[in-house]
C-alpha cells in the first residue's frame, strides 16, 4: 500500500513510519517539500506521490496558544485538512486525519461515543471540529477521522517541549513535590499503540468512512496518571491533587473527555489498557535512568 504520511517527526507520525515501513510503501516528505502551513504545497506533493492513502498527523495542538494564534490554528487544523481531503478526492485516495477529545464539553460522566454531539469549549477544539466537518464535506466517501486523547510517544511533542510523561519526569529532577490536576478525566494514549491500531484499521476491508475513537482502554485523571508514573519507576515523589475546575486562566478544558472505541472495536481493533501502555513506555525510554 502506497502511503503519503504528513508529520513524520511528531510522536504519532514517527511511530506510524517506524511500525509501517516494513509492510507499506510510505513516502514521508520533509517539511521543505510539504508544509501544510503553505496550502499551495499540498496539491503538488499529493499529485507527485499519488498515494492510495494520505495520513495527516500534523496539527496545531498547543492548546493555550490556539487562543491567541487562532488564525494559525484554523489554517492548520481546518483549512489544510480540507485541502488534503480535496487532493485525496482528486486521486481517489483514502484520507485519514486526527482529531481530539477536546471536541466535547465534558458534561458526560460516561465515555463519549463516536456519534455523541460535539460541543468544544476552546479554540483548539473548535478548530479541530471545523477540520472534521471540512474534510467530511469535501470527501465523505473516503475520509476517516480518528479522535484520540493525551498522546505521548518516544519522540516527544516538540511544539510542547515534550509530552506529559517527559515533563513530569523532568519536574522531579529539581522538585519532588508536584501539584497535578485531578479535575480532568482522560484516556492517555501511547502513540506506539495508536500507530499499530491505525495500521491494523487500514488493513480492514470492511472499514467505512466516518469518525473513530482510538485511545488506550480505561480512564484516569492526570493526577492518577502522574501517580502511576512514579509507582512504575519506584520513585519517591509527593504528588498533590489540585482541582483547577478545567480552567487555564480563562480557557476551559473538558472535565470529562474519556472516549469509547466502539466502531474500531467492532472490526477487532482495540488498544491495550492505559497503565499497561505507560509501563511499556517507561521501560523503553526511562527505566534505566532511575
Q: What is the CATH number of the domain that holds 106?
A: 3.40.50.720
Residues paired with residue 177 on neighbouring β-strands, in sequence order: 238
39 within some domain: yes
What is the reported pLDDT for 278?
97
pLDDT in tens, 164-204: 999 999 999 999 899 999 999 999 999 999 999 999 999 99
What is the reported pLDDT for 244?
94
Contacts for 283-289 with beta carbons within 8 Å, 24 or more apart? 284/154, 285/154, 286/169, 286/233, 287/233
73 within some domain: yes
What is the reported pLDDT for 285?
84
What is the reported pLDDT for 268?
97
111 within some domain: yes
Residue 185 near residue 135 (C-beta atoms within 8 A): no
For residue 198, how many C-alpha atoms fall within 13 Å in the half-sphere facing its CB? Answer: 34
151 within some domain: yes
243 within some domain: no
- Separation between Cα atoms, residue 8 and residue 171, nearest integer Å: 28
Please give the model's pTM, rounded to 2 decimal places. 0.96
What is the reported pLDDT for 57?
97
70 within some domain: yes
279 within some domain: no
What is the reported pLDDT for 289?
56
71 within some domain: yes
pLDDT in tens, 128-141: 999 999 999 999 99
The tally of domains found in the chain comes to 1
Residues paired with residue 179 on neighbouring β-strands, in sequence order: 240
What is the reported pLDDT for 155?
84
With a cut of 70, list the residues of the chain below it in pLDDT.
157-161, 288-290
Range(s) of the domain holding residue 141: 2-159+189-216+259-271
What is the reported pLDDT for 66?
97
Amino acid at each position: 500500500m502506497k502511503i503519503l504520511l504528513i508529520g513524520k517527526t511528531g510522536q504519532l507520525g514517527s511511530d506510524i513510519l517506524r511500525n509501517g515501513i516494513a509492510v507499506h510503501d510510505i513516502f514521508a516528505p520533509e517539511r521543505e517539500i510539504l508544509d501544510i502551513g503553505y496550502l499551495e504545497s499540498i496539491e503538488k506533493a499529493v499529485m507527485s506521490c499519488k498515494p492510495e492513502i494520505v495520513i495527516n498527523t500534523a496539527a496545531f495542538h498547543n492548546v493555550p496558544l490556539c487562543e491567541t494564534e487562532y488564525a494559525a490554528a484554523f489554517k492548520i487544523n481546518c483549512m489544510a485538512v480540507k485541502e488534503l481531503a480535496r487532493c485525496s478526492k482528486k486521486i481517489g485516495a483514502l484520507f485519514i486525519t486526527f482529531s481530539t477529545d477536546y471536541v466535547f464539553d465534558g458534561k458526560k460522566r460516561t465515555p463519549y461515543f463516536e456519534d455523541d454531539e460535539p460541543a468544544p469549549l476552546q479554540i483548539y477544539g473548535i478548530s479541530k471540529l471545523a477540520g472534521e466537518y471540512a474534510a467530511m464535506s469535501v470527501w465523505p466517501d473516503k475520509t476517516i477521522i480518528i479522535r484520540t486523547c493525551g498522546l505521548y510517544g518516544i519522540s516527544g511533542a516538540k511544539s510542547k517541549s515534550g509530552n506529559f510523561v517527559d515533563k513530569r519526569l523532568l519536574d522531579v529532577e529539581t522538585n519532588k513535590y508536584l501539584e497535578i490536576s485531578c479535575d480532568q478525566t482522560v484516556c492517555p494514549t501511547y502513540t506506539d499503540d495508536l500507530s499499530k491500531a491505525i495500521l491494523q484499521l487500514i488493513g480492514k476491508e470492511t472499514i467505512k468512512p466516518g469518525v473513530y475513537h482510538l485511545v488506550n482502554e480505561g480512564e484516569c485523571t492526570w493526577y492518577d496518571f502522574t501517580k502511576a508514573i512514579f509507582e512504575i519507576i519506584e520513585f519517591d515523589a509527593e504528588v498533590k491533587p489540585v482541582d483547577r475546575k478545567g480552567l487555564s486562566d480563562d480557557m476551559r478544558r473538558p472535565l470529562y473527555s474519556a472516549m469509547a472505541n466502539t466502531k474500531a472495536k467492532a472490526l477487532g481493533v482495540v488498544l491495550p489498557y492505559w497503565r499497561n501502555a505507560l509501563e511499556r513506555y517507561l521501560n523503553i525510554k526511562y527505566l534505566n535512568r532511575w
